[in-house]
Structure 1
């Protein structure tokens, strides 16, 4: 299993859970696909697109489970990013966790407590 990540704002995540599926954030809808990041890309994605935002959720999905609707396409610096060309369903989610803002950066490994 290879996990890929989607970052949601709190209200977007709540809407996703309530509806059971989502077309993504406004940028996803505008682009026609849902933006995901690899583990190596996720922190830069958070810093670039969610700088200073608290109340985020990190959602993990198995990339193989999203096939054949998942395409790997060049983006930032020519790196391949996963893009989902269908609605994301709650049953696609392997796990989700809060993505706290600590000291101005998002903590991708929050401690339990």
Structure 2
């Protein structure tokens, strides 16, 4: 199963440089890296990244994350994937830009 992480450009650049990340400031504050499923990603973008340009969407296979990935209740009681260790660059399968169109982020049509 694929899960997704939205990165701001400086956060992605830091991951590329260091080879791993503990995430964005919210991730550091919470002690784990927040991810979303395909069904949750659009709402995550609207809630936490509204109007932000220059974002990247990264896809990660849950199997690569092993037992450090926990499904925990969050927004509205939904289970969200949370990684309780740094994310390694090589665990990211692909990235794509999340352009803004009409104030909303455009996601790939083939997200699974």
Normalising by the smaller structure, the TM-score range is over 0.9
| Match in the other structure for 1:36 | 35
Per-residue CA deviations over 1:64-113 (Å, capped at 9, x if unaligned) read 11011000000011000000000000011011111111110000028xxx
Q: Alignment RMSD, CA only?
A: 0.9
TM-score (norm 2): 0.95
Count of aligned positions? 109
Q: Does 1:60 align with 2:59?
A: yes
Structure 1 moving runs of 4+ over 6 Å: none
Q: Which runs of 5+ in 2 are unaligned?
A: none
TM-score (norm 1): 0.94
| Match in the other structure for 1:79 | 78
Query: What's the offset of the Cα at 1:10?
Result: 0.6
Q: Which runs of 5+ in 1 are unaligned?
A: none
